[in-house]
Structure formats: structure tokens, C-alpha cells
């Protein structure tokens, strides 16, 4: 079974790794140093079992158990330094969905003291999963397609041109960061929605990316991915010239999104988005920039071109066609510009 380890103590993590290494049927999928990281990792790569400590910085094991069972449910075994002294938290975690609890094995004393109780508990949890008819969590497959778009001056019209050429069944999620005052963001989303067969709305804290839906940054804070599946807003970096920043968004998408990703930088003044687009290209993602002739303001696309951030430089009226030619997104291009 694939196992996630959640513990902020390096010695404890090492002890758990050594125990699992003696049972070749198990492998460590990932480790997390606190509850927040554990939730993010579970969303990105759901293991068969999570070995959850209780006392950690930022988010304790009880809250992490609750969040994981709500968002990426899997078997959770509490592994803590002293079950008896932490009985209240153990029962609280079990109340949130943890299946059992066991003491953390030790590196000192008898060879890996406590390894047998841990392995016994893991095997018992495995049998419980099989008895309930729950298949082990599949290995992480590629996530859905994501299209990220940044735009500034001249952007609304350019965005409308792209979106109106995409069908309602477009099988990728789209997230847009357009430089616009927060007071006008709702009006922009509604206007784009009226121009497109796709559903266009403002991104809300905690939103998930869904195929056929377009999310638009809606505040003066930065729109970012806070996990592999959830969007949110952040005030950091506080000193960034542009709010919301395309660079900040592109970088967060590159950090968290686990599937295929296409980055697009459209018309706009300045250079926001160019470095973020370069980061996406460096990570192996497909990147487009609008060409000079079709840009209302050839600032941001020019900066991307100078950084060699765009794998393809395209006229505006060809971007939708190119999106529909991507692997996994091949739909009819009938009616699109030649």
C-alpha cells in the first residue's frame, strides 16, 4: 500500500520510514510536516493510508483528519508519541474519521522498538479497507486540463474573442487574471458570460477548477492556487505593482496544478505575466503569447517574447483554434477562423 506520513519530527519520520522499509508491500508516497501540508498532499496524491501525528504546528492532526476526510477521504491511522497522554486528541481524531491509533516507533532501544504494533495496525486497516469493498487509492493519474490566461489593457475584447469561439462542452477549466479594478470585476465576468457559451463567473475562495467553466479574478488581492484543486486569494506579495498579478497566479498554477496546463499571455501594458509564463514553460507546460499585430498594447506579450517565455506566438483569432487542437481537447473547429 502507498502510505503518507504526517509528522513534524525528523526522527519520527525516519523511524516510520525504516519500519515501512521492512515491509516491501508498503511504500512511502509522501511526507508532510504539518496538517496544512498534509491536506494539500492528500488532495494532490491520495494514498491508501495516512499515518497522522497529532501535535504539529499550523494545523494539528485532529483538524487535518477532518479536512482530509471531507476533501480527499482515505484511511487514517493516528501515530503519536504517547497514546495514553494524548487520549483526548486521539478520540477527537477518531471522531473525525481516523480508524485507529498506535504509538510512534522509536529509533533507540530495541531495534526499531514498536515496529510490530505499527505494522500490525497497518495490516488491520488494509483488511478493513478490503472488507468494506474500498479499492486501494489509484496511483495519481494526470489531472484535467487547465488553461490560464493573463491580460491587461485591451484584454476584455481579446478575452471575449477567445471565449466566444469555444463550445459549451470545452473539456478544460479556464482561469483568467485580467487587470481591472475590483469594482468592475463582476461586470466584466457578466459581460464575458454574455459573450460565451461557457459559464463565466468570479472566482471565490475555495473554488475548484471545473471543465467548461471560466473563473475570473475578482478582487484586488492575488488569485492563487492554494492546493492542487482549490483557488483562493492572497495579499502576498504585498509590494507587487499589479494586484491581482498574473505572474503570481501563473507561478502558483505551476506549483500546484498536477495535470496538463496551458498558459496564455494577452495584450497589456508593462511586463506582468512574462516571468510567470517563463516559469510555466520551464516546467514543461505549453505557453502562448499574443502576437504584435493583434495586440492592442504590445507590452506584456513583447516582454514574454523577449524572455523566450512563449512556445508559440499567435494572432488572437488563432488562439481558440490552437486550444481545440491540444491533446485531449480535440473538438470540432468548424466555424472558427481559418
Q: How confident is the model at residue 112 (pLDDT cuts 50, 70, 90)?
A: low
Q: Which CATH architecture has domain 145-324?
A: 3-Layer(aba) Sandwich (3.40)
Return the HEC string of the chain.
CEEEEECCCHHHHHHHHHHHHCCCCCEEEEEECCHHHHHHHHHHCCCCEEEECCCCCCCCHHHHHHHHHHHCCCEEEEEECCCCCCHHHHHHHHHCCCCEEEECCCCCCCCCCCHHHHHHHHHHHHHHHHHCCCCCCCCCCCCCEEEEEEECCCHHHHHHHHHHCCCCCCCEEEEEEECCCHHHHHHHHHHHHHHCCCEEEECCCCCECCCCEEEECCCCCEEEECCCCEEEEECCCCCCCCCCCHHHHHHHHHHHCCCCEEEEECCECCCCCHHHHHHHHHCCCEEEEECCCCCCCECHHHHHHHCCCCCEEECHHHHHHHHHCCCCCCCCCCCCCC
Catalytic residues: 152, 179, 272
- What's the mean per-residue pLDDT of the chain? 87
2-131 and 145-324: same fold? yes
CATH tag for 2-131 (out of 3.30.70.420, 3.30.200.20, 3.40.190.10, 3.40.50.2300): 3.40.50.2300
Give the pLDDT confidence of 70-89 residue by residue, as tens digits: 888 889 999 988 777 778 88
What are the extents of the domains in the chain?
2-131, 145-324
Give the pLDDT confidence of 174-196 residue by residue, as tens digits: 999 999 888 889 999 999 999 99
pTM for the complete prediction?
0.59
CB 181 within 8 A of CB 206: no
Give the pLDDT confidence of 284-322 residue by residue, as tens digits: 899 999 999 999 999 999 999 999 999 999 999 999 999
Give the pLDDT confidence of 233-267 residue by residue, as tens digits: 999 888 888 889 999 999 999 999 988 899 999 99
Give the pLDDT confidence of 122-166 residue by residue, as tens digits: 988 887 766 554 545 544 444 578 999 999 999 999 999 999 999
Amino acid at each position: 500500500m502507498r502510505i503518507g506520513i504526517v509528522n513534524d519530527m525528523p526522527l519520527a519520520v525516519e523511524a516510520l520510514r525504516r519500519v515501512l522499509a521492512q515491509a516491501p508491500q508498503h511504500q512511502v508516497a509522501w511526507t508532510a510536516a504539518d496538517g496544512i501540508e498534509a491536506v494539500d498532499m492528500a488532495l494532490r496524491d491520495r494514498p491508501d493510508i495516512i499515518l497522522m501525528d497529532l501535535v504539529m504546528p499550523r494545523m494539528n492532526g485532529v483538524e487535518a483528519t477532518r479536512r482530509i476526510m471531507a476533501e480527499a477521504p482515505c484511511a487514517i491511522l493516528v501515530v503519536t508519541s504517547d497514546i495514553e497522554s494524548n487520549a483526548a486528541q486521539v478520540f477527537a481524531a477518531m471522531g473525525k474519521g481516523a480508524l485507529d491509533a498506535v504509538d510512534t516507533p522509536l529509533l533507540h532501544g530495541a531495534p526499531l522498538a514498536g515496529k510490530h504494533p505499527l505494522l500490525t495496525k497497518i495490516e488491520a486497516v488494509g483488511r478493513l479497507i478490503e472488507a468494506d469493498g474500498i479499492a486501494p487509492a489509484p496511483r495519481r493519474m494526470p489531472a484535467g486540463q487547465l488553461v490560464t490566461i493573463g491580460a491587461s489593457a485591451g484584454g476584455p475584447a481579446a478575452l471575449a474573442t477567445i471565449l466566444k469561439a469555444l463550445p459549451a462542452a470545452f473539456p478544460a477549466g479556464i482561469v483568467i487574471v485580467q487587470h481591472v479594478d475590483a469594482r468592475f470585476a463582476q461586470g466584466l465576468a457578466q459581460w464575458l458570460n454574455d459573450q460565451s457559451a461557457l459559464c463565466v463567473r468570479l472566482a471565490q475562495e475555495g473554488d475548484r477548477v471545473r471543465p467548461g467553466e471560466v473563473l475570473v479574478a475578482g478582487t484586488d488581492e492575488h488569485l492563487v492556487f492554494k492546493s492542487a484543486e482549490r483557488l483562493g486569494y492572497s495579499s502576498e506579495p504585498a509590494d507587487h505593482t499589479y494586484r491581482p498579478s498574473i505572474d503570481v497566479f501563473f507561478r502558483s498554477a505551476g506549483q500546484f496544478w498536477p495535470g496538463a496546463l496551458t498558459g496564455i499571455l494577452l495584450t497589456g501594458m508593462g511586463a506582468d505575466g512574462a516571468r510567470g509564463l517563463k516559469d510555466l514553460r520551464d516546467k514543461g507546460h505549453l505557453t502562448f503569447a499574443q502576437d504584435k499585430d493583434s495586440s492592442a498594447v504590445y507590452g506584456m506579450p513583447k516582454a514574454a517574447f523577449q524572455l523566450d517565455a512563449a512556445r508559440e506566438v499567435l494572432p488572437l483569432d488563432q488562439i481558440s483554434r490552437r486550444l481545440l487542437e491540444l491533446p485531449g481537447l480535440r473538438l470540432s473547429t468548424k466555424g472558427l477562423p481559418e
